Amino acid sequence: MDFSDKTVLITGASSGIGAACAEAFAQGGADLVLAARRMDRLEAAAADLCTRFEIEVRIAAVDVRSRDVVDAFGADLEADGVNIDILVNNAGLARGLAPVHEGDVADWDEMIDTNVKGLLNVTRTIVRGMVDRGEGHVINIGSIAGHETYANGVVYCATKHAVAAITRGLGIDTLGTGVRVSSVDPGLVNTEFSVVRFHGDQERADGVYAGMTPLSARDVADAVLFCASRPAHANVREMVLMPADQAAAVYVHRDENR
Ligand code: NDP
Ligand code: 8X3
């Protein structure tokens, strides 16, 4: 796939799915804008990708929860004449697993502020330019949690249901403008996601993927590239991508010998 005439902005590019998307688009020759909070990770990724591919990589410390930071980031891009052709809204996280009546409100705030308001902050800033130019593609990383709700994960599931609503609604808002809107909605993917969810408890995180083969971050990146490479008249609205060992959020085949 040739993306050599494209500039791709990926949020949450410092690990997991975002980092895999960066590598996949770099292989396709795209220039990249990589955003996240951990600049050391982004610096290492940029150095690596610039060595291996003939592309330009710009990095930015962006906490998507801060509207001021996101707006300043968008203004910097505009001032430097960087037009974003493809936005991968990937930054997101889960925190905790608990019934609503025992929920940690700090966890709720972090999930809602990042997955919903953060995604909206970046979308608002970047899509304006796409509409003005009459072209662009927004690819949201949703989740199976945007299609189902599972016990103790209600707030995370609510945020991913919100992402599904935003994908559909943004598609309506931008209808006729030349901007396409897609979502890629994975089941279990082996990234830092579960370590983050369990506040650093690696053993508990490993248990999420025990005895089954989860998706890799690259599997998801390949799905993102598929969406981004459709011809201009075609759009993937929602793609649900599951491990073969997973039929639904809580239906997972596990083999203790694996
Ligand atoms: P990771 O924890 O590996 O990556 C999450 C990324 O999001 C990191 O780069 C992190 O960067 C970034 N991020 C988190 N909070 C913020 C913030 N406030 N501002 C900017 N960036 C932020 O997990 P995944 O790669 O798995 O997660 C990526 C997306 O995929 C999320 O939206 C997640 O909900 C979704 N997803 C994951 C699945 C899974 O099973 N892993 C399944 C379905 C969907 P930094 O900390 O440096 O800011
Ligand atoms: C992440 C997948 O099943 O943990 O969105 O919610 S799940």
| Ligand 1 pocket residues where CB is under 6 Å | 11-12, 14-18, 36-38, 41, 62-65, 90-93, 114, 118, 141, 143, 186, 188-189, 191-193, 196, 217
Per DSSP, 101 falls in state G
**36 phi and psi angles, rounded to 5 deg:** -175, -175
The span from the CA of 121 to the CA of 69, in Å, is: 10
Judged against a pLDDT cut of 90, whether residue 257 lies above it is answered with: no
The span from the CA of 17 to the CA of 249, in Å, is: 19
**What is the dotted CATH code of the domain comprising 7-252?**
3.40.50.720
Ligand nearest to the backbone CA of 66: 1
Residue 155 CA to ligand 2 centre (angstroms): 12
Query: Alpha carbon 233 to chain centroid distance?
Result: 24
Give the DSSP H/E element, type plus range, for residue 32: strand 31-36
Atom of ligand 1 nearest to the CA of 190: 41
Pocket test for ligand 2, best of 193, 196, 208, 216 (most atoms within 8 A of CB): 193
Confidence of residue 204 (pLDDT cuts 50, 70, 90): very high
Give the model's pLDDT for residue 211. Answer: 98
Return the domain boundaries, the chain: 7-252
**Helix intervals (H) in 148-192:** 154-173
pLDDT tens track for 65-114? 999 999 999 999 999 999 999 999 999 999 999 999 999 999 999 999 99
Question: Model's pTM, two decimal places?
Answer: 0.98
Per DSSP, 37 falls in state S
